[in-house]
Amino acid sequence: MRLGWNRISDLAISFGLWLSRIPLGLFVVLSAAIVALKSPIIPVWVVGEVAEAFPEPVGKQSNVFVGILLWRLVGGNEYFAAVGLLAILAAVVVVWLCSSSKRMSSVDGRSQLLLALTWPPVLSGVAWFGYGTEFFPLGIAIAVLTQRKWIVAFGAVLASLSHPEIALASFTCLLVLSLAQPFGRFRLSALIGLLVSAPIWVASTAWMRANGAESRLDAFAINLREALEFAVSRDLLGLYAGWGIWWIVIIGSLGLMKRRDALITVVAAVGIPFLAMSLTLDGNRVFAGVGAATGLAVLWQIFETDENDGVRSKKTETAEITRTSAWTLGIVASATLVMPFVQYFFASPLVGFNWPYLRSLVGSLPLG
């Protein structure tokens, strides 16, 4: 058994070292292309309907205010798609830049790039493109991974105006996580996020109810039974879809913690997001959003070395650092290549790229 594990570790190190020698620009392009070609896409375009009716709320999606504002400013699918994709790309860059103090060009930086590209809110943002929440991942990334209070507040406002309910739940999970010793530094960010998201959620819910529109709180009560039935039918695939390849981040982090801290992490990163997913009809899009802030904090905990926090012992030998970083890159890259990307559209799982949608999209372009 040990010989088999050693063989796997050696292969991962060799693969990671090989990947580290690829020019950074080429590595970025290949990584983005592989992730894009493996990602399911579920075009919904809900934002257009609610944006055209705004300021009259017409349903529970009427409080995706950033998406609505963007739609009204640019006026239509084509420009909205361009700006929305740029927002998701910006979220990837923020996660890549800020998830640790290491240089982007380092071996660990390449692992962080792959994890930024496969961060569940990014994948669900692309999969459910047109829902109006394309700026939510960027807002969460700014709020969690920056330290200046006004920047954290800006990120919290952006996330909360993109999706008030999910932002409130995500910052709540982060506050729970901050009770674990390695994550105490995120408590202020969680509190700022809650102070911003809670009033926005309350105000938007009251606004929709006052105008006779169904809020998400109303939809939750109406759809609870059906959602629970779907939750049972999803089984383990639904749980896997929540974090996807980021399960290696969540599980890997638990080995670096004391038992109490690990239990708190499981509650914040798995228990609460899975419960939220099980009580709604939108599948792992809800899991990804609720766990968004927690996932970034865990990613920081793995890659940021800090002896005072006891998170990870700092390596002093360059060869050992390179070997450990190469192993991490090899494992993350292998997971990206091999593990499936799954998105649940209500009760139906979608695995892989939506090629018919791509063909219809290309066919609609004015090419001459």
Domain boundaries, the chain: 23-210+217-346
Per the CB < 8 A criterion, the answer to whether 156 and 147 are in contact is no
pLDDT at 315: 44
Using pLDDT thresholds of 50, 70 and 90, give the confidence band for residue 364. very low
- Can you name the residues that pair with 342 across neighbouring β-strands? 351
CB neighbour list of residue 352: distance below 8 Å, 6 or more residues apart: 38, 40, 340, 341
Per the CB < 8 A criterion, the answer to whether 284 and 343 are in contact is yes
Angstrom distances, CA of residue 291 to CA of 49, 169, 313: 28, 8, 27
Which pTM was predicted?
A: 0.84
Q: Which of 50-59, 140-149, 274-283 has the highest mean pLDDT?
A: 140-149
DSSP sequence for 218-277: HHHHHHHHHHHHHHHHHHHHHHHHHHGGGHHHHHHHHTTS-HHHHHHHHIIIIIHHHHHH
Alpha helices in 75-184 (DSSP H): 77-98, 107-117, 120-127, 136-145, 149-162, 164-177
pLDDT at 242: 84
Q: What is the mean pLDDT of residues 232-249?
A: 78
Per the CB < 8 A criterion, the answer to whether 146 and 155 are in contact is yes
Task: Please give the residue that has the higher pLDDT: either 229 or 183.
Answer: 183
d(C-alpha 360, C-alpha 357), whole Å: 5
Classify residue 70 as left (phi > 0), alpha (psi -120 to 50) or beta: alpha
Which has the minimum average pLDDT: 193-207, 210-224, 233-247, 287-301? Answer: 210-224
Using pLDDT thresholds of 50, 70 and 90, give the confidence band for residue 4. low
pLDDT at 60: 72
pLDDT at 131: 80
The answer to whether residue 310 scores a pLDDT higher than 60 is no
Per the CB < 8 A criterion, the answer to whether 172 and 295 are in contact is no
Distance of CA 217 to the CA centre of its chain: 23
The answer to whether residue 360 scores a pLDDT higher than 70 is no
Per the CB < 8 A criterion, the answer to whether 134 and 125 are in contact is yes
* 44 burial via Cβ count (<10 Å: 0-12, 13-18, 19+): middle
Q: Within a 13 Å sphere around the CA of 116, how many CA atoms are in the beta-carbon half?
A: 29
Give pLDDT tens digits for 43-90.
677 777 777 877 777 777 778 888 888 888 877 666 777 788 888 889
CB neighbour list of residue 113: distance below 8 Å, 6 or more residues apart: 27, 28, 31, 96, 104
Q: Please tell me what DSSP assigns to residue 135.
A: T
Which has the minimum average pLDDT: 99-103, 191-195, 221-225? Answer: 221-225
Q: Within a 13 Å sphere around the CA of 11, how many CA atoms are in the beta-carbon half?
A: 9
